[in-house]
Structure 1
Amino acid sequence: MPTPFRLLVVPGVTVDKWTRLWAERLPDVELLVEPVPAQDAPGLLLDGADAGLVRLPVDPDAFHAIPLYTETTVVVVPKDHLLTAGEELTVADLADETLLSPLDDTLTWPSMPAAVLAERPETTAAAVEWVASSAGVLVVPQSLARAHHRKDLTYRVLTDAPTSSVGLAWVRDRHTDLVEEMIGIVRGRTANSTRGRAPEQPAGRRPARQQQPGAKARKRR
């Protein structure tokens, strides 16, 4: 049996479509999907994982990365909070709020738009609990707000906040055929693409011979 392909997946990333395509195209290679904290993904790639769906950027000296999409940024607040009056907000609307900054924060701010609580939650999940206790508000990629949904909380889009991008990354000197297959899947290549592993010829058929220039003309003489 071939060695399984280890794919790291950080919180907020949905992989159902890609894992299904992998199973259809490479049924002989087991795909091991490993959920990992965003901050741990680079180290685990260096330690031997084949590829990862990670938060960008990553160290370009150590990794190749293909950007896949950029997420909408939202602010998570209690359902009865004043900020819920609008459908969309700007960073300026947070000026009077207290921001929570979890240790696994995925956003990079050029400057904080409001006061930040000195005590930092260990994780985004913990920060959501703090929002529920009215300790402050939390700015995160929309997928994380959905992943940690609570009935007593909601979120609003921040139109001008920093954003977080997701990409496929792998160690620079480990670009294998299977990594190329995963690249093809996440980029939407068809199963018949010539990239990645060489396609098999159907049984009983030979590759068509390439006609030499001028062959047809010679035949007509």
Structure 2
Amino acid sequence: MTEKTHLPALTWRNRARGLADSLLNFVFPPVCGACKKAGALLCEACHAQLQWVHSPLCNRCGRPTSRATDCCAVCQERPLPLNQIRAAVLFAHPVSKLIHNLKYNGAFGLSKPLAQLMSDAWAEWRMPIDLVLPIPLHVERERKRGYNQSTLLMHDFCRFVGLPYSEDGLQRTRFTTPQVGLTAVQRLENVQDAFATQVDVVGKHILLIDDVCTTGATMASAATALLNNGAKSVSGYCVARAI
């Protein structure tokens, strides 16, 4: 396996990107991805409606709970191979609209404000990480969409927090149906053995990036592949947690 890892550029590339973004915003002012108000990709009014994830929660899967616990009832019934899963906000309006537009309406620029939410919450959920990997799409689905939203989120998030990443450290080895509408058990079966490791992860603490976590089935399948190839631990981090 050939390891292709990157450290976020903190050089003239970032300054050039910032200048280009400023010029583009001057010529074509951005509009909010949730309410269409001009001025920002996530306006102040919509930002104020965000429901941030806070304790108490399950220390393993990150589900909000009535009181803090190391392992909630769901995790006891269906243990996950991940060290922990965390998310910045709950999957509710307006972030649900932003993620929908990012994934299905070609609004790939929304990865930046969504990754900023992840960065803002990272101080609370920070964990030791050696390498960040995005949850991959199957090649056919990525070709149809034109991009992988998780890769876009990973790029911006790692640039904000300064973590090393690999774009193609994981590969989805078979086509799976969308997880929407499936039960928890069906989700696990749908993505079982669906991933293969493409980089050296031996002894490393890995962080998986995705847009939404519902049951954790997709991350669990990816984590199994990484652990089977020698990863020391695997954790997950998403923009939003669906309850």
TM-score normalized by structure 1?
0.26
Structure 1 or 2: more strand by fraction: 1
Query: Which of the pair has the greater relative contact order for Cα pairs under 8 Å at 6+ separation?
Result: 1
Q: Which has the larger radius of gyration?
A: 1
TM-score (norm 2): 0.24
